[in-house]
Each structure stands twice: as structure tokens, then as C-alpha cells.
Amino acid sequence: MQQTFYKYQGTGNDFVMIDNRQQTFDKNNTKLVASLCDRRFGIGADGLILLENHDNLDFKMVYYNADGNQSSMCGNGGRCLVAFANQLGVIKNKAVFEAIDGLHHAAINGDIVKLQMQNVDVIENHRQHVFLDTGSPHHVQFENQIEDFDIKTKGAKIRYGAPYNKAGSNVNFVKKISSTEFRVRTYERGVEDETLSCGTGVTAVALAMHYIGETEKNLITLHTQGGDLQVSFNAENGAYNNVWLIGPAKLVFQGKI
């Protein structure tokens, strides 16, 4: 049976979207997911997302990295899924859905999708980096030569090294532009390369920069390779709530597999 797929992107972080409300997709087929995400032999994407029915909420998000494995939360993917649900008529401009890290509220206005992220109350401030989990694990460190830097090699070394080892972490390199603007490049676990943008990654950078005193603002613009995102939050004694990831999410094309 042929299956319709949709390709979405959020600041260049791109995803294959499948409406799996009828449970027609072969969910445990890692090779199939990886082959659909392959940029030469497949559709090409950083990840694949299933939109599924939920008993009490608008829908459920099931996220796979480009390597074909289910993974932790994807912020840009969540924003793209909200745009997809809106396009399908599953929601009308507002959503509450379940992802692997819990419940998410979201709102869509034109191309702009606002996604509420999980509260963060544990942030590790190490000598050379900050580590936190914003739904996915993120290592954050400064890099002044950020424009001219081998993200893939340097990112992989950190991602596979101690203390992360096989389970790994996403790795974000940051340059401060001002107290409201930071430049970010991200090496993504499960893609095992730089992606043009990472939603949980820029969220981690915004909270980390506030936590270590690089900013006192609570609305931060993050410049990624694929465009600009914003993160807003409330800070209370080193803990963060009411965290929102804001930016564009767009349909690129659709087809049949």
C-alpha cells in the first residue's frame, strides 16, 4: 500500500512527516526509517515523525533520528508537527500533544509555531561547558571561531567521549553576539553530523547562557545556520519554567512512498 509523506523544515532542520492515525506505518522498521531519511537514496531528512491519535489530547508525536532509531524530544520537529497537524485539520491554531518527554502546548500563527518546552531545574555548570536536558541532552560550550570551525569532527569527539560515551549527547557551540543574541551551531546525535538548527539545542543554549550569567534577559534570539529562533522563559532561583521555543515551520513538498 502506498503511503503519503510530507516533508517539513524548521530553520533548516528537516523532517519526513507521516500521518499514522490509522497505524499503517511499520514503526519498528529501523532500516525503513533510515532509508527514508537518507539524502541520496531516500527522501532526505534529519528525522522522521509520526502523528498518531491520543486518547485525551490532540495527538501524539513519535520521533526518529535519521539513523532510524526512536529518540528523545525534538523541538524543531515538534514545531513542524504542529504545522502538519494544523494542515491536516487535526487542530485549529492551538494544540496540546504528548511527546516522549511529556505534554507540550503549542500555538501556530501563519508560519510561526510556538512550542512550550519542559521545565528545566537541573543544570550542570562545568569548567569548560554546561550540560542540561531540555527534552534531549545538550552539551553547550563557547567557540569564538564559530564560523570557521570543523563542527563534525569536534562535535563527534565530544559526543562519543566521556562522560557521554555510547548514549551520547548533542553538542552546541556558541558565540555571544550581545545579551539578547547568540550564534549557535549544533552537532546532533542520531544524525551524527551538524544540522542547520536544533530546537532543544537552542533552548539549552538560551537557558545555559542565563544560568551562567551571560545574559539577564528572558527573551533570547539564537542565530543558527538555517535561520533565527527565539526562546523565552521565566527564571526562578536557577530553575526555568514557562519555556517557549518560537520560529518558522514550513511544508516543503509531499509525495508517495
Classify burial at 106, counting beta carbons within 10 Å of its beta carbon; exposed 0-12, middle 13-18, buried 19 or more: buried
Active site residue 80: no
- Of the residues 73, 74, 222, 245, which is catalytic? 74
Under the criterion CB under 6 A, does residue 200 sit at the interface with ligand LBFN2T5F?
yes
Name which position in 68, 190, 247, 248 contacts ligand LBFN2T5F (CB under 6 A).
190
Name which position in 136, 172, 215, 221 contacts ligand LBFN2T5F (CB under 6 A).
136
Name which position in 50, 85, 198, 205 contacts ligand LBFN2T5F (CB under 6 A).
198
- C-alpha distances (whole Å) from 193 to each of 76, 111, 154, 185, 254 are 16, 27, 10, 11, 25
| Local structure of 151: helix, strand or coil | helix
Under the criterion CB under 6 A, does residue 76 sit at the interface with ligand LBFN2T5F?
yes
C-alpha–C-alpha distance, residues 225 and 158, integer Å: 20
Contact in structure between 163 and 201 (CB atoms under 8 Å):
no
Tell me which H or E stretch contains 157.
helix 151-160
Q: Which span (82-90, 114-122, 198-206, 233-241) binds ligand LBFN2T5F, by CB under 6 A?
A: 198-206
Name which position in 71, 86, 215, 224 contacts ligand LBFN2T5F (CB under 6 A).
71
Q: How is residue 221 annotated by DSSP?
A: E
* Cα torsion angle, 136, 141, 147, 149, sign: negative
Under the criterion CB under 6 A, does residue 65 sit at the interface with ligand LBFN2T5F?
yes
- Of the residues 198, 202, 205, 207, which is catalytic? 198
Name which position in 9, 170, 221, 224 contacts ligand LBFN2T5F (CB under 6 A).
170
Under the criterion CB under 6 A, does residue 9 sit at the interface with ligand LBFN2T5F?
no
C-alpha–C-alpha distance, residues 188 and 76, integer Å: 13
Name which position in 16, 18, 75, 182 contacts ligand LBFN2T5F (CB under 6 A).
75
Distance of closest approach, residue 66 Cβ to ligand LBFN2T5F, in angstroms? 8
Confirm or deny that 56 is annotated as ligand binding.
no
Angle (CA) 151-77-173 rounded to 5° is: 20
Tell me which H or E stretch contains 13.
strand 13-19
Under the criterion CB under 6 A, does residue 224 sit at the interface with ligand LBFN2T5F?
no
Active site residue 37: no
**What's the one-letter identity of residue 3?**
Q
Active site residues: 74, 198
Q: Kindly list the residues in this chain that would bind ligand LBFN2T5F in the complex (CB under 6 A).
A: 13, 46, 65, 71-72, 74-77, 136, 170, 188-190, 195, 198-201
